[in-house]
Structure 1
Amino acid sequence: MRVVVIEDEPLAAQKLIGFIKRFEPQAHIVAQFDNVADVMAFFDCEQQLDLIFSDIELLDGQIFNALNSLDLPCPVIYTTSYDQHWAAAFQNQGIEYLLKPFSFKRFSQAMSSYEQLKNSFAPTVPLLQPPANVNYKSRFLLRKSQVIEVLKTEDIVCLRAAAGVISAYDKEGVHHMLTGNSISDIEQQLDPKQFFRLNRSDIVNLNYISGFENYAKDTVAVITCVLKEPLITSKTRTALFKNWLAG
């Protein structure tokens, strides 16, 4: 198990690492940080991790200042002395919230939650090979005042999530609000041969991609034939996007 520890209190970090090693002797502490700036620098390159343990209030600000802009490769268990951040924690890939000081028993419960989550997502079919006879979503129903309108999936250029709202942009450039789903839920309903998730917030339709160009280190700007602004891949999704686009 490859782990990153983010903690600005040396004694708390030492205790946490002790708990990790006690629970999983083979765990490898890949890196340890005490500030937001170093976390940002670390994730500037793609990382292979299984789990992140993170305090919330660090030396140079809240960890959410970093995590909000990152495409994390794994879940996070938050460790903090403050109970008011739990909502933000679970919006940033949090799976557990440990209030300091926590016991090894409570730590073990959090790790059990992680293991259950990991097992539930264990692959039963080859990666990117969906089960046979899957019926992907062909339309969305939209409530417009007293009328229910139909938006065909094939007419969607992209879907974007922001501030808890999911928007669909159609081939005419018209913006529609979707309700009752997260972007991850919608991703699972779409044909992966036709739609690709570029980052934490954006899903694009292959039929409307006109090209892409380099944007920043390890990212590209995806140009559609409808939207004025390009869609930007996350660093961890860029190579996958190129392979997907090449068919």
Structure 2
Amino acid sequence: MKVIIIEDEELAAERLTGMLMQLDPSLEVIDVIESVDDAVRRFSGGIQPDLVFMDIRLADGESFEIFDQVKINTPVIFVTAHDEHAIRAFQVNTIDYLLKPVEAAALEKALAKFHAYAPVTSNIIALLKSLNADSMAAEPRRNFKARFLVRSGDKFIPVSTNDVSYFSFENKLSFLHLANGTRYMADQTMDELEAALDPGLFFRLNRQYIVSFEAVKTVHNFFNGKLKVYLHALPEDGIMVSRYRANLLKEWLNR
């Protein structure tokens, strides 16, 4: 069973993941999403887990905003510290509403509720995946961003996306970096860049870095399942990748 956790507190996400694995070792947390915007982007991109655990108050708003922007047919279990949203929560496809700190017994009961509905929900999800695959086959190939027009003083410089080593987010600004160490400010946010770039060539390591395949020098195992990525063009300390994105990174590097 594939699960997504929508939670902006890393410790809370880690605790929930640990409890879920104890209750059902076959369960797989395929991603942890930290914001409304990221959730909308992922579900708009066609991601279809079997179950979603969702906090209500996220860094950029309330998770109810996700349902206003994208259709989610996957069953949801809310996990939150706030009890005043229960009525609103059950207006969407909610299986249960758990209050933090979550107790193992309550979580086990919520999973039991999900499995009780599993025959119906699995058929719905299978149908949605089939429809999504058909629609993707019918759509023309998506055009990803091929070049940037960046500013340098009083002039503009065209830069091919193929020449970009990585993108960074520093002091609320986005930058693109070339292999020779030159950097230019980018007009797009990191989320906009991630959506515009070819996912076969670029990977979002964390909130601060999007890297090209050619930029990755080595990847090191780190504490608690995390990874540390070192780039050819960034001879400093490595870039940390959460354990939730570690497997995704390995898959991306090994395509």
- Deviation of 1:93 after TM superposition, in Å, equals 3.2
Q: Deviations over 1:7-33 (max 9, x none)?
A: xxxxxxxxxxxxxxxxxxxxxxxxxxx
Amino acid of the residue matched to residue 173 of structure 1?
A: G
Q: 1:212 aligns to what? A: 219
- Deviation of 1:166 after TM superposition, in Å, equals 0.4
Q: 1:169 aligns to what? A: 177
Alpha-carbon distance between aligned partners in 2 of 1:5 and 1:158, rounded to the nearest angstrom: 26
* 1:228 and 2:180 are equivalent in the alignment: no
The aligned length equals 163
Mark the CA change 1:149 to 1:3 in structure 2 (over 3 Å): closer, same or farther: closer
Mark the CA change 1:120 to 1:148 in structure 2 (over 3 Å): closer, same or farther: farther
Q: 1:184 aligns to what? A: 191
3-state SS of the aligned residue for 2:71?
helix
Q: 1:117 aligns to what? A: 69
- Deviation of 1:3 after TM superposition, in Å, equals 8.8
Q: Deviations over 1:50-104 (max 9, x none)?
A: xxxxxxxxxxxxxxxxxxxxx64564644xxxxxxxxxx7xx23247xxxxxxxx
Structure holding more helix per residue: 2
Amino acid of the residue matched to residue 43 of structure 1?
A: A
Amino acid of the residue matched to residue 94 of structure 1?
A: G
* 1:200 and 2:210 are equivalent in the alignment: no
Amino acid of the residue matched to residue 154 of structure 2?
A: Q
Q: TM-score, normalised by structure 2?
A: 0.54
Identity %: 21
Alpha-carbon distance between aligned partners in 2 of 1:209 and 1:40, rounded to the nearest angstrom: 25
Mark the CA change 1:120 to 1:154 in structure 2 (over 3 Å): closer, same or farther: farther
> Any conservation in 2 of the 1:142–1:151 contact (CA below 8 Å)?
yes
Q: 2:123 aligns to what? A: none
* 1:238 and 2:246 are equivalent in the alignment: yes
Amino acid of the residue matched to residue 242 of structure 1?
A: K
Q: Which runs of 5+ in 2 are unaligned?
A: 19-31, 37-54, 74-127
Computed over aligned residues only, the root mean square deviation of the Cα atoms, in angstroms, reads 3.5
Alpha-carbon distance between aligned partners in 2 of 1:172 and 1:187, rounded to the nearest angstrom: 22
Amino acid of the residue matched to residue 182 of structure 1?
A: T
> Any conservation in 2 of the 1:46–1:236 contact (CA below 8 Å)?
no
- Deviation of 1:159 after TM superposition, in Å, equals 0.6
Mark the CA change 1:209 to 1:119 in structure 2 (over 3 Å): closer, same or farther: same
Q: Which runs of 5+ in 1 are unaligned?
A: 7-38, 49-70, 79-88, 97-110
* 1:147 and 2:129 are equivalent in the alignment: no
Q: TM-score, normalised by structure 1?
A: 0.55
